[in-house]
Amino acid sequence: MEEIIKKAEILIDALPFIRNFYGKTVVIKYGGAAQTKPELKESFAKDVVMLNFIGIRTVIVHGGGPRISATMEKMGKKPEFVQGQRVTDQETMDIVEMVLGGLVSKEIVGLINRHGGKAVSLSGKDGGLIKAQKKTIKKLTPETGVSEIVDVGLVGEVTSISPDIINSLERDGFIPVISPIGVGPHGETLNINADFVAAAVASALKAEKLVLLTDVPGILNKKGAVISTLKKGQISSLIKDRTITGGMLPKAQACLNALSDGVRKTHIVDGRIPHCLLLEIFTKEGIGTEILS
């Protein structure tokens, strides 16, 4: 009987959060271990379905870098990166589009639907969702000490989001699952960082929350402990003193972009923890790092 009562208490504890977030939108960047380990995939799908059943609108933007690299290698093509950006010629872009839209996105949709949700796969090409431009990358040449522009091919950055198709799907109870592929000014297909796409989508929807799932506990301080809460203004100093480095840089920048464009709260969450979404959204303590405006 005590165990049953504890379950009831957990539900009651979640009630204020359910009331606060009912009818609001949460954008989730889904990647890392949560996207590769079977038990975490199931946990993620169940969390998303539950959020929708209790009236919280969810929009998913997914990555898929390791799957893209593995597929490229199977096809005899070696992946190349410059400053973390995949060098993307036309053949690589075809592989990126095939893997993200044809394999990864459909797998996520299938998992959510199997647990009772109504997910739909979208690319940035659908309904003019993601407009983009080619990204410029500068690299310091050691011999000259001068920064030079490096052409990494069909790599893009978001210029605008047209949320009409997302709004239409959400009105009918569907869960959009978005591949981070955009359309350039001349109709070219562009490969875009999923963190920045998620931030741009959250901004366009004026989402309540942007949640980035990653493979670390959150933003760590110099002693390796998780910083549970940060204000937007603290991020630049943490970047300057190299507390935030490497793969955490684009995530922190994506959070700043979203907060500057009207998203209420952003979260960097450890996707290796089962039911991390529910723990972050429905508990006072939360997990990971919360960044506020």
Q: What is the pLDDT of residues 134-150, one digit of tens each?
A: 998 877 666 666 777 88
Q: What is the pLDDT of residue 285?
A: 73
Domain ranges of the chain: 22-286
Q: What is the pLDDT of residue 143?
A: 66
Task: Check if CATH label 3.40.50.300 holds for domain 22-286.
Answer: no
Give per-residue pLDDT as tens, 144-192: 667 778 888 999 999 999 999 999 999 999 999 999 999 999 999 999 9
Check residues 49 and 136 and name the one with the higher pLDDT: 49
Count Cα neighbours of 115 within 13 Å in the Cβ-side half-sphere: 20
Which H or E element spans position 214?
strand 209-214
Lowest mean pLDDT among 14-18, 67-71, 185-189: 14-18
From the list 206, 229, 249, 243, the residue with the least C-alpha distance to 292 is 229
Q: What is the pLDDT of residue 269?
A: 92
Q: What is the pLDDT of residue 203?
A: 97
Q: Is a pLDDT exceeding 90 seen at residue 6?
A: no
Write out the DSSP string of 132-189: EEEPPEEEEETTTTEEEEE--BSEEEEEEE-THHHHHHHHTT-EEEEE-EEE-TTS-E
The model's confidence at residue 78, banded by pLDDT at 50, 70 and 90, is: very high
Give per-residue pLDDT as tens, 210-267: 999 998 899 998 888 999 999 988 998 898 888 998 888 889 999 999 999 999 999 9
Q: What is the pLDDT of residue 168?
A: 94
From the list 190, 213, 188, 186, the residue with the least C-alpha distance to 275 is 213
Which H or E element spans position 82?
strand 81-82
